[in-house]
Structure 1
Amino acid sequence: MYFTSAQKKALTAVLVLFLCALAYREVESRLFPPPSVDFSVFEAKFAARFDSLQQVLAGDSLVPVRETVAQNLPQPAEGHSAEPAAATTVNINNAGIDQLTTLPGIGPKIAARIIEYRARTGKFQLPGDLMNVKGIGPKTYSKLQHRIVAQ
C-alpha cells in the first residue's frame, strides 16, 4: 500500500492528535483524581429495608397491615353510611327518572329515553326489551339485568 505525501502528513497529524488526547487524559486523571463515592449510607438504608421486608415475609404480618389500612381509609361523610345501599329491583314499566337513575349505567338522559320509549311503544314485555332503548346495549344491560323487572 502506497501513500502520497499529503496522505502521510494527514495520517501523521491524526496520530499525533490521538496521542495528545491520550496523554491529556492520563495527565488529567493523575492530577485530578475522581472523587471517591461513599456508599455506606445507602448500603445501611438498603440493608435496613431489606431486613424489614424479610421480617414481613417471614411472619404473618398481613393482619396488622390490614388493620392499618382500615384505619387510614377515609370515613364516610355525615349522612352517608359506609355500607352500600341495598340493591332493590326496579319495575321498568312504572319507574320514574329517580328510580331509573339508581340502576347501574343509567343516567338522567337514558332514564328519560326509557320513559319516552315506554310512552311511545307501551309497557315492556320482557326486561330484555330495554335493549331497544338507544344507549342501552348488551354491556349496560348485563350490569342491570338482575335489578329490573317488567311487570
Structure 2
Amino acid sequence: MAELQSLEELGGAVETAAPEAPVYVQKLDAQGRAYATGKRKNAIARVWIKPGTGKIIVNKKEYAEYFARPVLQMVLRQPLMLTDRLSQFDIIATVVGGGLSGQAGAVRHGISKALTHYEPDLRASLKKGGFLTRDSRVVERKKFGRAKARKSFQFSKR
C-alpha cells in the first residue's frame, strides 16, 4: 500500500459512497398473512392481515361491537383510510391489557406495522402519518411517601 503525501491524494483514495436506504421486503407466513404486534400504554395487540373483504375482528368480536365509541372505531380505521385499503384486507386482532383507548391505539399500531409487512411501499405514507411510531407514554409509577405518582399528602404546619 502506497503512502499518501498530501490530503489531495486522500480525496482520490477514499471512495465516497452514499449510505443506501434500507430495502423493505414483504413478510408473510405460510397462510399468506402478515403479522405484527402493536403497543400503546399497557395494551398489547397481535394483528394478522390477509386479503379479504374488509372485516375487522377484535378478540373474536366485530370491531364496532368491541369498541363501542365511534372515536375508537375511527382510530382503528385510520391507517386503512390513509392508504385506501379499507375494504381490501381482513384483519384479526387479539388485544390484552390496558383500557379501551390504549387497546384501540395498540390495534392501530399493529395494523400499520402489518400493512408495511404486507405492502412495503405503504411504509412512507404510514410513517409520515405517524402510525408506525410507538407512543411510549405510559402511566408513571406511584412513589413511596406520596399520595400518587407526584401528589403529596396534605401538609399541616400544626
- The higher radius of gyration belongs to 1
TM-score (norm 2): 0.21
Higher RCO (CA 8 Å, separation ≥ 6 residues): 2
The structure that is strand-richer by fraction is: 2
The structure that is helix-richer by fraction is: 1
